[in-house]
Structure 1
Amino acid sequence: MKLTSLIFCLFLTLSLTSCIQDEALNAEADIVTCTVPGDVLNRDPIIENDKITLIVKGGTDISVLAPSFTLTPGATIIPANGSVLDFTTPQYYEVTSQDRQWTKKYEVGVTFSGVSNTKYHFENVKFNKSGKYHVFYETDVQGKENMTWASGNEGFSLTGLTDENGESIKANAYPTSQTDNGVVGKCLKLQTLETGALGALMGMKIAAGNLFLGSFTVNISDILKSTKFGMQFSYVPTYLKGYYKYKRGKVFQDNGTVIPDKKDICDIYAVFYETDEKMQILDGTNVLAEDNKYIVSIARINDARETEEWIEFNLPFVYREGKTIDPEKLRAGKYNLAIVFSSSIRGDHFEGAPGSTLYIDEVELGYEE
């Protein structure tokens, strides 16, 4: 009996050892989280596929930052965690997977928190890293880029749609792009599009064109949380005005299901809200929620319509009941501002009419001290 038990234990030990030896090493090489020592960040870092943006408070010495990263299990990083680097220009990190077979490079850059421009002409675009779609940005008085707009183009790029020649679609065929014939010069073009077979497979059959202050990182498990709305703003917003043209698509869909007689419409709005440790930024689940206690005021169009001519909109910020602005928190950078444009008002829920197109130009944000 004892010999039998001994043999069984030996067999079990060898089996477990074999399982451990045969267990595959992790092949992922991703940065999961990022932290920076000291009270220098205005909000959590924005972690994208191959890029990280550190949003720091005004006055921060960015020549001596020492970020640390949480990596996928077993992965390593160069330069090492906590290395002091000069971020006056972007720094590059290389992550190597546990099995040593895969590496991934990240660009880590720094931007100072806050909305730095209040007039938007949509004349400046660059291409994303893969060269597929337009990214809108603003410049300072010296012409240097100082603020970047976000859109859902990154998500649309995953559909893999091609043109009639089987080639990748051009930038002007994306939901968010730049086009000619603005009020002055070029302008913003937003269009609601079908997402093809892959989009249908994922249950996301349409994509509305959008542009907003904030960031976008694809979150397949909860697509509404892909959009992060807002940037720090140290003034009191009073109005949002500009020009728009709009043409709705012919057939309204609710995620692919045709809804007879329902008509699409665009959306233009801005949200001013308070932040704290528990809530640093709004997303698609709560940016307009009636019960969101952080929202202070909203400016939103309520009479949008089809028009072939440019129409001026002038939207005052309306305070929610009982809300006021705390001057001390304002000076401390505890308020954020989101500005949002969309070709379909319910596009974030995959509702809208393919072909709906919104043009925006010459936008101005009013504010007071």
Structure 2
Amino acid sequence: MKKNLFYLFALICSVSLFTSCSDDDDPVYPIEEELAGTYKGTLDIELDGNPVGVGLPKNITIAKSGNNIISLELKDFSFMGNNLGTIKLEKCALKQNGTSYSFTGNQELNLANGIGKCNVDVTGTLNNGKAEVNLDIAVEQLGETVKVVYKGDKLTGSESSEAQITSFVFKDAPIITEQPIIDDATGKITFKVLDDATDEELAALVPTIEISLKATISPATGVKQNFASDVTYTVIAEDGTVKEYIVSLAGRQVAMKFPFDEWKSVGAGKSKHDEPIEETLATSATAASLLWLYGIEGFPLYKETEDVVAGEAAAKLVTMDTSAKMNSLVPAITSGSVFTGKFVLDMKDRLNSTKFGVAYEMKPAYFRGWYKYTPGDKFIDGTGATKPEDVVEHPEITDECAIQAVLYEAEDAEGNEVTLTGNNINSSEYRVAVAVLDDGTAKAAYTYFDIPFTYVNGKTYESGKTYKLAIVCASSKDGDAFKGAGGSTLWIDELEIIGE
């Protein structure tokens, strides 16, 4: 009996020893040191032999599950617009072949979006920081197999995760009225075009795009796209982080343009001068054309044909120092001006002569155009002056120009027509929105301005109300107060109001 117990004990010990030796014989691979980590690469997907995705950017994660076992995780697996969730295979057996490792695994998964149970077979290799993975996903509900081929490179962990479009611009595109606005939170980029822009013009747009450092983008910058419909851009960060942006047309706008290309001759003899042909534009040049009667030569407005931005001509506004001849009819200075509206000479109230504004039926968005400016040498103040001796010189002051647009209510509470003049264009309670050039200092070359309308006194644009729009350009910004410098010259060209 004792002998039998001894043999039984020996047998148990030998089994334990065999088991222990067997565990010790399992291969131990340097998974955490060499293989585990995140891999950045792309997926190719086939559904029953038909390609449904090629070169799709995706990261996979490999982790240690045992001495010779790894797990593989593919997050947010999507194809054909369906996100099936995360594919995670817990136990994939490793085998070493020199410096390369191969692995296999099988697992039943329950995928999202109603796909349900799927049997997943995986095979792959890991070699010198490169991963190749083949997944066969048998979708029970569809009775079809999805084949996935993945290739990627292992990340170091120091790569940037930034995947942003930082700038998106259409250059040299006349149909664009509002450059793209990037909403990074929603991934939406929107822009606006002229009301008469065609699908052919939209299909010919070429964007200039800037993105996060070390990221890539598809489609690439500088490549023509058809923006007649939405265009999707995919940005991939250095570490494989993916962000999509959808670029779409947000609306169409109408441009009121003043190119100053066509002019007409007005008056006769010494009063003969040129004025823009646009009926909505007015100037004080007609009144100034009578100054020759007082021995004053020149005009406050000229047609400029040599120095233009585009087209045939531009407008040149010149401040006239008339202080030496001033009297009850001759002001100290006559500022060059162009404005929308009418000039109706009022001898008793010179500022009342400028009737600003024309009917405008849209909501103004931007005031745009080109200008350059040279201030005159001697700044004078003729406010309240009645004779030349009353005029005060200010050598410490440099003249500036003025360019602005004003939207105002065209009717008062009783329904009477409202017309703003030089007395109240900058102060009237009827003003609703303004676009004012902030920098009226010297500009040696034509300078572009693009000014958004801002609303005053808490007012808003109300559809159904009647409005007038005044554009006012002057070679001396305080010319309405009879302040400025003789010879101050303002060139303007290609003015436009963008409204919707």
Normalising by structure 1, report the TM-score.
0.59
**Aligned: 1:233 with 2:360:** yes
Q: 1:246 to 1:343 in 2, by over 3 A?
A: same
CA deviations 1:258-307 (Å, max 9, x no partner) are 11301110000000011213442100111110xx2211100000122212
Contact map agreement 2:371 2:493 (CA 8 A) in 1: yes
CA offset at residue 132 of structure 1?
1.2
Amino acid aligned to 1:183: V
Unaligned runs of 5+ in 1: 1-115, 139-146
Structure 2 equivalent of residue 118 of structure 1: 256
Q: What is the correspondence of 1:59-98 to structure 2 with a 5 Å cutoff?
A: none
**Aligned: 1:301 with 2:417:** no
**Aligned: 1:285 with 2:423:** yes
CA deviations 1:205-235 (Å, max 9, x no partner) are 2100000000111111111100000000000
2:280, 2:356 → 1: CA distance? 13
Contact map agreement 1:243 1:313 (CA 8 A) in 2: yes
2:493, 2:294 → 1: CA distance? 29
Structure 2 equivalent of residue 149 of structure 1: 281
Structure 2 equivalent of residue 175 of structure 1: 300
Contact map agreement 1:252 1:354 (CA 8 A) in 2: yes
Contact map agreement 2:399 2:441 (CA 8 A) in 1: no
Structure 2 equivalent of residue 338 of structure 1: 470
The sequence identity of aligned pairs, in percent, is: 35
Structure 1 equivalent of residue 126 of structure 2: none
Structure 1 equivalent of residue 451 of structure 2: 315
Superposition RMSD in Å: 2.1
Contact map agreement 2:435 2:452 (CA 8 A) in 1: yes
CA offset at residue 162 of structure 1?
8.1
1:160, 1:306 → 2: CA distance? 29
Q: 1:317 to 1:176 in 2, by over 3 A?
A: same
State the secondary structure of the residue aligned to 2:464.
helix
Q: 1:247 to 1:348 in 2, by over 3 A?
A: same
2:420, 2:438 → 1: CA distance? 22
2:357, 2:318 → 1: CA distance? 22
Contact map agreement 2:255 2:499 (CA 8 A) in 1: no
Q: Which 10-residue stretch deviates more, 351-360 or 173-182? A: 173-182
CA offset at residue 158 of structure 1?
2.5
Structure 2 equivalent of residue 213 of structure 1: 340
Which of residues 311, 316, 328 in structure 2 aligns to 1:189? 316
1:199, 1:148 → 2: CA distance? 31
CA deviations 1:13-34 (Å, max 9, x no partner) are xxxxxxxxxxxxxxxxxxxxxx
Equivalent pairs counted in the alignment come to 232
**Aligned: 1:133 with 2:258:** no
Q: 1:117 to 1:126 in 2, by over 3 A?
A: farther
CA deviations 1:339-369 (Å, max 9, x no partner) are 011000011111000010000011121111x
CA deviations 1:24-74 (Å, max 9, x no partner) are xxxxxxxxxxxxxxxxxxxxxxxxxxxxxxxxxxxxxxxxxxxxxxxxxxx
State the secondary structure of the residue aligned to 2:459.
coil
Q: 1:325 to 1:133 in 2, by over 3 A?
A: same
2:313, 2:330 → 1: CA distance? 34
Which of residues 458, 463, 474 in structure 2 aligns to 1:327? 463
CA offset at residue 203 of structure 1?
5.6
CA deviations 1:222-263 (Å, max 9, x no partner) are 111000000000001111111111000011000232113011
1:352, 1:161 → 2: CA distance? 23
Structure 1 equivalent of residue 396 of structure 2: 261
State the secondary structure of the residue aligned to 2:347.
coil
**Aligned: 1:158 with 2:290:** yes
CA offset at residue 327 of structure 1?
1.2
1:161, 1:250 → 2: CA distance? 26
| Greater length-normalized contact order (CA 8 Å, ≥ 6 residues apart) | 1
1:183, 1:361 → 2: CA distance? 6
Contact map agreement 1:135 1:148 (CA 8 A) in 2: no
Structure 2 equivalent of residue 352 of structure 1: 484
CA offset at residue 200 of structure 1?
3.9
**Aligned: 1:252 with 2:387:** no
Amino acid aligned to 1:233: Y
Structure 2 equivalent of residue 52 of structure 1: none
Contact map agreement 2:322 2:330 (CA 8 A) in 1: no
Structure 1 equivalent of residue 494 of structure 2: 362
CA offset at residue 127 of structure 1?
1.5
2:463, 2:259 → 1: CA distance? 30
1:124, 1:203 → 2: CA distance? 30
1:210, 1:275 → 2: CA distance? 23
Q: 1:162 to 1:286 in 2, by over 3 A?
A: closer
1:353, 1:129 → 2: CA distance? 27
State the secondary structure of the residue aligned to 1:328.
coil
CA deviations 1:181-218 (Å, max 9, x no partner) are 10113111000012365534536121000000001111
Structure 2 equivalent of residue 271 of structure 1: 406
State the secondary structure of the residue aligned to 1:155.
helix
1:323, 1:126 → 2: CA distance? 39
Q: Which 10-residue stretch deviates more, 262-271 or 298-307? A: 298-307
1:128, 1:148 → 2: CA distance? 16
Contact map agreement 2:406 2:431 (CA 8 A) in 1: yes
Unaligned runs of 5+ in 2: 1-253, 383-390
1:283, 1:162 → 2: CA distance? 27
1:162, 1:315 → 2: CA distance? 40
Runs of 4+ in 1 over 6 A off after TM superposition: none
